[in-house]
Structure 1
Amino acid sequence: MTWEGALVTVISDREGPVAVITLNRPEKLNAWTADMRERLIELLRQAGDDPQVGAVVLTGAGRAFCAGQDLGETAGIDPGDHAASDAWIDGFDRLYRAVLDLDKPTVAAVNGVAAGSGFQFALLADLRIGHAGCRMGQPEVLSGIPSITGIWAMWDILGRARTTEFALTGRLVYGAEAERLGLLNRLVAEGEVLAAAVAQAKELSALPPGAVALTKGRLRDLERDALADAVTAAKKVHAAAYATGEPQREMARFLRGRAK
């Protein structure tokens, strides 16, 4: 099944009991727009409702998993338009909850760079498989964007010290360090990432579904309040940031440099 349209930005295929959902903007490193995220939410919900699907693999087309937000979409946000920045954050809230609400196991096939909100999205998967050359991190601060939901996504995996480092420096780490830090569960050869993720998802799909769903439900309970708090804080902090015009200026500078 695929989304129909002039540009199919998210694709859903099946590998037996596994739904493979692929972000499909390889020329943009799978950086996403609001429309793309809404399509992804729908596909995640469909996979959750399909009794033939036992697990879900999340991946990206080409050489990236997801480079995060397409800055071309957010660079023009009016500094005084709090409704626009709130709606942007609400979109990520819906996306993150669509992953967390799945009672079925999820595996991220991190085939390349996973940055910013794309990095956060990967961390929401139950398991993550990547390769030595993939890069992961939280570079929002480099574009003048505060990392608020990023702190929430990293905290339980990295702890305070490493979360602070990632949020403030914006650095990306390669696969071996990502595995050592717990950002990846396993490393495989570059060309084997998707196959390994599908194989892992098939193993998970064969587990007793009731026990899996109840276990995931408890894990979700532990995260729900923290996510709600992060979203509330993100709206307040992002409104303050965009009111200064700094994110818009930094994103415009980045886009000008990329156009050269």
Structure 2
Amino acid sequence: MKKLFSLSNALATVYFLSSLLILGGLWWLVSILTKNEIPNPVQTWTVFSDMLQDPFYDYGPNDKGIGLQLWSSIKRVFSGFLIGSLVAIPIGLLMGASKTGMRLFNPLVQILRPVSPLAWFPLGLLAFKASEGATVFIIAITSLWPTLINTAFGVSSIPQDFKNVGKAFGFSRWKYITKVLIPYALPHIITGLRLSIGIAWMVIVAGEMLSGGIGIGFFVWDSWNGLSLEKILSAILIIGIVGLLLDKLFSGIQQLVAYDGK
């Protein structure tokens, strides 16, 4: 069993490194085809390593290290993600458990879900009178839909046998919710949260480009204004790495709550 586990980890590492080599090769090819207008990986790594020398420096409002920029973005992402989840999960439970709830809320979900994050930003500014609140608002409003939909699906797909067991043992409504409904729907909820955190992390870049101030999105825009493509590519790498780590985090949680079929 340990040998199989080790072999699986080794293969996963080989595939991961291979994908990085493919990415690096494609990147270098694009750099050559654009006659180095797009910096190659070596040029980008030089700037990237310089950025990491002192990532938490603070020389004023518009001159902060990449570490401070990233931390500010992560705080906004988790604030919006938490707010969105607190809205999505209860509504999803209601939609999945009640046909009336589904008929009532499903049209609203289908109307609001496709709206672009950028379209919500002016309303966020109007409501919160500040770009910080508006950015958190657009993260919340755009990231809640996968959690809501997956929660509703998980609850609505509870087998009738499970419901009959609750009735046979005379479960109260609260006991049915805590012993049957939530445990069965939890893997679906975590799947929704995993999708939602990915959307939240994508939206933060657009939101901070509009709001300015501090954050990884603002850093990208500020680097463009400073004509530093190396910094832009470095920021893209950081965004991708953090997105990968967030996905791995929720993937691990997903495996913990998944049914093992036993």
TM-score range normalised by the length of the shorter chain: under 0.3
- What TM-score, normalized by structure 1, do the two folds share? 0.28
- What TM-score, normalized by structure 2, do the two folds share? 0.28
Structure showing greater Rg? 2
